[in-house]
Amino acid sequence: MATLFSNATVLPMTSSAEGPHTFTGSVGVAGDRIALVSPDESAAAEFRAAHPGLREIDCRGRLVMPGLVNTHCHAAMTLQRSRADDLPLMRWLHEFIWPFEACQTPDDVALGMELGIVEMLLGGVTSFVDMYYFQHRCVGVVERLGIRAVLGCNYFDSNIDEVLPQIGEAVRLAAGSDRVRIAVAPHSPYTVSPENLVRGRELAERHGLLLMTHVAETRDEVRIVRERYGATPVGHLDRLGVLTPRTIGAHCVHVTDEDIAVLAARGVTVSHNPQSNMKISSGVAPVARMLREGVTVTVATDGPCSNNDLDMWEELRTAAFLQKSATGDPCALPAREALRLATANGARAMGCSEGELGVLREGALADLIVVDLEKPHLQPVNDAVANLVYCGKASDVETVMVGGRIVVENRRIPGVDLPDLYARAAEAVARIRTAK
């Protein structure tokens, strides 16, 4: 069935910085693609005539825009939300996070993934890039809930021989999907040896997969990599041939000017995780400088126990404010550019071609959200983009469509019993704590 979103404030994210950001008009969807984006009522009438029986959604007081893309998270870590806070990164990992994960079953990971996806969908995230374990068990969860995802199979030196077959299984399970892609995800250059980083790179090349890894997240990581390999994390990965246009580097906080030039030259996508970096006191990524030098930068939440949520609206606001504060320049990372990091740039990170995702244009994938503007914190609408980035909240998202299918309507996800989901998550956490 075709769908027409009419009488909407439309934010297509396609105009130049100088052009108009929004217009009042309609967005028509046929199949899994956007078939109409127009301020012309006669065009809307023609769409109605061409699609008898379509569903029309009156969007008066609403804004229609591309869905948000979260380019780095560990969604299944919802089960560890607020379990271990206010700790240095290495102690946090070694004493709390990794011991908990050692007791998780594949079913626990699938459950945590379900909770994470529900949170993201209700907040307007239509696509996400994940890095975690047992991703072959999560393909079905993604398919059932209707979101779009890149599932990165995370490995260390200690478990690579266990994970590599899981990558093959995940690739097989996702082969017929138009919304799920698989990626190779070595944890980082300080937890994975050069030999195993190369094994991951070769596997990604063989199957045409994306590759993601944590890069230069902390000063400790930079020190460890320099001591072992005589290079920065970026330089070390570059020597190994890991950095390509199909690579997503999460964090990239402690990067040199030379590192930034390498990231730009190799076409690497950087996933900026401002709130997680702030909470763990990792530092401030030089986003404004990376953008100036031509690096593709995106915004992401990181995991829900280092953030502690999966709210991309908070992340956008923080990313913009943090760059202004860190650079001393109030013009750094303006609202429209920040929003682009979470839409069109995020689509590039997922391997989509220009204009295929992250924008509202005819022929693009129909991944879009409807935001309720009739909220006190979003009125008056002097500048819709500034309102979204600086004032927007996850709870403002009313309707979510992915691939032409409405997966959230009136803030409800069909087929999801939220109280039951919360109860199952609590039971799993209680069992894992007892097992420890």
Report the candidate in 31, 267, 271, 245 with the shortest Cα–Cα distance to residue 128.
271
Query: Is residue 368 classed as helix, strand or coil in its secondary structure?
Result: strand
Residue 227 assigned to a binding site: no
Distance CA 266, CA 179 (A): 26
Pairing of strands 269-272, 296-299: parallel
Distance of CA 377 to the CA centre of its chain: 25
**Beta-bridge partner residues of 185:** 154
| Structure token pair of residue 359 | 């924008």
Report the candidate in 251, 70, 224 with the shortest Cα–Cα distance to residue 149.
70
Residue 254 assigned to a binding site: no
Quickly count: other Cβ atoms within 10 Å of residue 17's Cβ.
Answer: 9
Residue 169 assigned to a binding site: no
Query: Is residue 31 classed as helix, strand or coil in its secondary structure?
Result: coil
Residue 221 assigned to a binding site: no
Query: Angle CA(402)–CA(249)–CA(21) in degrees, nearest 5?
Result: 45
Q: What is the dihedral of CA 249, 255, 258, 264, to 10 degrees?
A: 30
Asked whether the beta carbons of 29 and 404 are under 8 A apart, the reply is: yes
Distance CA 92, CA 174 (A): 33
Residue 101 assigned to a binding site: yes
Distance CA 302, CA 128 (A): 11
Could you give the angle at which helices 384-391 and 312-327 cross, rounded to 10 degrees? 90
Sign of CA dihedral 147, 150, 155, 161: positive
Pairing of strands 68-73, 210-215: unpaired
Distance CA 220, CA 178 (A): 40
Report the candidate in 201, 329, 364, 207 with the shortest Cα–Cα distance to residue 268.
201
Q: Which residues are annotated as a binding site?
A: 72, 74, 101, 187, 214, 217, 302
Q: Which residues are annotated as a binding site for Zn(2+)?
A: 72, 74, 214, 302
Q: Which residues are annotated as a binding site for substrate?
A: 101, 187, 217, 302
